[in-house]
Every structure is written in structure tokens, then in C-alpha cells.
């Protein structure tokens, strides 16, 4: 049984890795995609906004589909669709083709993100200790690999399809093979786990999601992604235009941010086991807020990069722990809670970049950096949402739930 869980954990980590790589390959080559299809600067934001909107639709659809199909089955078939849509985005030559592939990509990404996190939360509950940050660390590693491959493709002037095809050729069969070992792990009733018995006030009782109770976590998810999108969309421009860096140096902050995100998530599970999720979330919030403050007040480029480094270390813990907290808050309706919470991932992504851009143009970009700082600090108000009874997993050993680990995700 332990081997089943370990294989399930490793295969799910690979799924997170593959998704990080695919998403990075798409977003880092947006200018090349724009040139390939001849999309105007005015029309491009419409396409970019459509992807997260459709991803939200995909997440909502997943909430209903998991009533009939296990998350492992949805993950098994949505991941290949994402990879093939990525290849399609690099292979067409008409705007209609791009619109279709991006629409498919967005819908499939919503289903993929939701089902991945459903499996991650249920596996964490079965393990009885924090492992959720490790899955998101795999996503960060995939993002770094994907961004590096995208850089290589641009450096060698490869056609988009030639850049994407080898990646899809490797990841697609590997994802199919790994999906054989997905585990739909369920916390057994009567296991003695306080979280499995229900959250304070009966949250999750009867298998329903009370949105009023989920709302604090939805806000935290939104504000975390506003912070993340601020870094991904504005770090280079901010460093170059506001802090006076060279064009080459301006590309460094996002890479640093990704590396520190990977580092923080790799070490984060150990911190949760030792100090509890609420303490780790509070610390991450304060570090992220300090990062925005340093960025806003930086006298030069190198101090600005220190701020972006702090942002990576701080923001990286918030999203995985928010998903985990939703699973604990609604143990009887974990999948539905995660599907709904996942929508606010895309809300934050949609709001963050335009918000900072509008404030920067109307006020100043230094001042604009203070807005996500304040929003992230709101997490401190809701920190207790991350620590229901039974949240502290204790020591560094696993407490495996062997009474019921669910079935593998092989479509059975």
C-alpha cells in the first residue's frame, strides 16, 4: 500500500512538472505567437484574457464532472489535450486556428489545474503530513525548464512547432505512462483525523461547500496571483524603466523569482510539518510584503532584484497552502471546494497585470507596487483559516492512511 502511495505521489509530481513546462513554453513565446499569426497589439490582450477566462470555465466544469468521474481520470485525459493544444498553437498560421487552440488550451488547463490539486490535497490527507508544497515545487521546476527551452528556441531562431514538438514528444507519452499510477486517495471515515471529521462549525458536513466559509481562501488565492502576475508581467519593465537597468539585466528578476519559488516550495513542507501551516503562511506573507516594499523603494536595479528574490520566497507558499486549507475545511466536499477555489487563481491573473499597469500610468510604478503589497498583507487577517484542528502534522515522519487509499487513476 505504501508503494501505491509513493508511485501515486511521484506520478502526480511529474504531472505538475509537465504542466509547469507547458505553460511556460506558451507564455514565454507570446511575442513569437503574435508574429506567427499576425495578431495586432490591440487584439492580443483579448486572446490573452480569453485563456484564463476559459480556464475558469474548465475549473467549474471539473466540479461537476468529478461527481461522475474520479479526478485521476480527468487529469489523465486533460494533460495530453493541453500538450497537443500547445503544439497546435505553434503549428497553425491563421487567427481562427490560434483562437481554437488557445480556447482548447484554456479549457483543458482549468480542468488540469483543478484535478491536479484535488489529487494533491487528497494524497496529503492520506499521508497525514504536508506534501502539497512539493507538488508545486515540481511545477516551478517545470516552469524553469520550459522557460529555458523557450529561450533556447528563440536564441536558435527555431520555428514554434520545431521548438514545441520535441517537448510534446517526450512529455505526452511520459504523462500517459505516469497516469497509470495516479491515486485517488480518500481520508477514511473514522480514521481519527480531526480534519476528516469536519471543520469548525460543521464545514464540509453533508458534502457541501459553504461559499461564505471558502471566501477568505478565495481572497487569499486572488491576492497571491495578483502578486505573482505583477512579477511575471512587470518585473522586466520596472527594472528597466523605473530603476534604470540594462535590457539584459531586466530579464534577470523573473528568473530569480522562479528559482526562489522553487527553493521555497522545496523546503516549505518541512516548515509546515515543524511549525504548522498558519505560521508558514504568516511568514510567507510578511516576506512577500517586504519584497514589494523593497521593490517600491529600491534606489537601483540590484536592490530591486533583492526585492523580487524576497517575493519568490514569500509568495511561493501561499497558493499550495490555500488549496490544502480548502481540502481541510471541507473534508466532505474537498474536490468541489478546490474546483471553486481554483477559479480565483485565474481571477488574480486577470486582475493583476491590468491593475498595476493602470496604476503605474495614472500614478507611478513605484506606487503601483505598494498595492499588491497591501493586498497580500490581507492574508494575515485570514491566517487562522489555514490552521483548523489537526493541521499540525507533527514530526518529520509519514502517518500513512492504509484503510482506504482509493483506486489508481487508470480509468477503472
Q: Are 78 and 107 in contact (CB under 8 A)?
A: no
| Helix 334-362 and helix 95-127, axial crossing angle in degrees, nearest 10 | 130
Residue 408 covered by a domain: no
Q: What pLDDT, on the 0 to 100 scale, is given for residue 207? A: 67
Q: Are 161 and 87 in contact (CB under 8 A)?
A: yes
Instruction: For residue 377, give the H/E element and its range.
Output: helix 365-377
Residue 405 covered by a domain: no
Residue 81 CB-density burial (10 A; 0-12 exposed, 13-18 middle, 19+ buried): middle
Residue 397 covered by a domain: no
Q: What is the pLDDT along the chain (412 residues), one digit of tens a residue?
A: 588 999 999 999 999 999 999 999 998 888 889 889 998 888 988 888 899 999 999 999 999 999 999 999 999 999 999 999 999 999 998 999 999 999 999 999 999 999 999 999 999 999 989 999 999 999 999 999 998 898 888 889 899 999 999 999 999 999 999 999 999 865 443 333 333 333 333 344 346 888 999 999 999 999 999 999 999 889 988 998 899 988 778 878 888 899 999 999 999 999 999 999 999 999 999 999 999 999 999 999 999 999 999 999 999 999 999 999 999 999 889 999 999 999 999 999 999 989 999 999 899 999 999 999 999 999 999 998 897 555 444 444 344 443 344 444 433 3
Q: What pLDDT, on the 0 to 100 scale, is given for residue 388? A: 53
Q: What pLDDT, on the 0 to 100 scale, is given for residue 140? A: 94
Closest to 149 (Cα-Cα) out of 256, 19, 22 = 22
- The contacts of residue 56 (CB under 8 Å, 6+ apart) are 110, 343, 346, 347
**Which residues on neighbouring strands pair with residue 408, listed in sequence order?**
183
Residue 398 covered by a domain: no
pTM attached to this predicted model: 0.88
> In this structure, what CATH number is given to the domain that contains residue 341?
1.20.1250.20
Considering the domain architecture, whether residues 171 and 229 belong to the same structural domain is answered as no
Distance (Å, whole) CA 373 – CA 250: 21
Considering the domain architecture, whether residues 231 and 167 belong to the same structural domain is answered as no
Residue 325 covered by a domain: yes
Lookup: cell for 401: 492512511
Considering the domain architecture, whether residues 174 and 273 belong to the same structural domain is answered as no
Considering the domain architecture, whether residues 214 and 337 belong to the same structural domain is answered as yes
Considering the domain architecture, whether residues 250 and 360 belong to the same structural domain is answered as yes
Q: What pLDDT, on the 0 to 100 scale, is given for residue 389? A: 53
Amino acid at each position: 500500500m505504501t508503494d501505491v502511495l509513493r508511485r501515486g505521489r511521484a506520478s502526480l509530481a511529474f504531472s505538475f512538472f509537465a504542466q509547469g513546462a507547458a505553460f511556460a513554453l506558451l507564455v514565454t513565446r507570446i511575442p513569437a505567437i503574435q508574429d506567427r499569426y499576425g495578431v495586432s497589439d490591440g487584439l492580443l490582450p483579448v486572446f490573452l484574457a480569453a485563456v484564463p477566462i476559459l480556464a475558469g470555465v474548465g475549473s467549474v466544469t471539473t466540479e461537476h464532472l468529478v461527481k461522475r468521474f474520479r479526478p485521476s481520470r480527468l487529469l489523465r485525459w486533460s494533460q495530453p489535450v493541453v500538450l497537443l493544444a500547445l503544439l497546435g498553437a505553434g503549428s497553425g498560421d491563421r487567427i481562427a486556428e490560434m483562437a481554437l487552440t488557445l480556447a482548447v488550451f484554456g479549457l483543458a488547463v482549468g480542468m488540469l489545474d483543478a484535478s491536479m490539486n484535488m489529487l494533491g490535497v487528497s494524497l496529503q490527507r492520506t499521508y497525514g503530513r504536508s506534501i502539497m508544497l512539493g507538488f508545486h515545487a515540481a511545477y516551478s521546476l517545470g516552469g524553469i525548464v520550459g522557460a529555458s527551452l523557450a529561450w533556447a528556441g528563440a536564441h536558435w531562431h527555431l520555428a514554434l512547432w520545431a521548438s514545441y514538438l520535441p517537448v510534446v514528444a517526450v512529455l505526452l507519452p511520459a504523462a500517459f505512462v505516469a497516469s497509470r499510477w495516479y491515486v485517488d486517495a480518500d481520508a477514511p471515515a473514522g480514521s481519527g483525523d480531526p480534519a476528516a471529521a469536519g471543520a469548525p462549525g460543521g464545514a464540509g458536513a453533508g458534502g457541501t461547500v459553504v461559499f461564505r466559509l471558502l471566501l477568505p481562501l478565495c481572497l487569499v488565492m486572488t491576492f497571491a496571483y495578483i502578486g505573482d502576475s505583477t512579477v511575471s508581467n512587470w518585473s522586466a519593465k520596472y527594472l528597466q524603466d523605473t530603476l534604470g537597468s540594462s535590457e539584459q539585466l531586466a530579464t534577470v528578476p523573473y528568473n530569480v523569482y522562479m528559482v526562489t519559488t522553487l527553493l521555497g516550495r522545496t523546503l516549505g513542507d518541512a516548515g509546515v510539518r515543524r511549525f504548522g501551516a498558519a505560521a508558514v503562511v504568516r511568514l510567507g506573507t510578511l516576506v512577500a510584503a517586504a519584497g514589494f516594499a523593497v521593490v517600491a523603494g529600491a534606489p537601483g536595479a540590484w536592490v530591486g532584484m533583492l526585492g523580487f528574490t524576497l517575493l519568490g520566497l514569500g509568495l511561493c507558499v501561499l497558493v499550495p497552502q490555500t488549496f490544502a486549507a480548502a481540502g481541510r475545511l471541507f473534508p466532505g466536499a474537498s474536490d468541489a471546494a478546490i474546483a471553486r477555489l481554483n477559479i480565483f487563481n485565474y481571477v488574480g491573473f486577470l486582475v493583476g497585470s491590468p491593475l498595476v499597469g493602470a496604476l503605474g500610468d495614472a500614478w507611478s510604478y513605484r506606487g503601483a507596487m505598494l498595492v499588491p503589497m497591501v493586498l497580500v498583507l490581507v492574508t494575515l487577517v485570514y491566517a487562522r483559516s489555514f490552521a483548523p484542528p489537526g493541521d499540525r502534522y507533527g514530526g518529520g515522519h509519514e502517518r500513512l492512511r492504509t484503510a482506504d487509499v482509493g483506486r489508481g487513476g487508470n480509468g477503472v
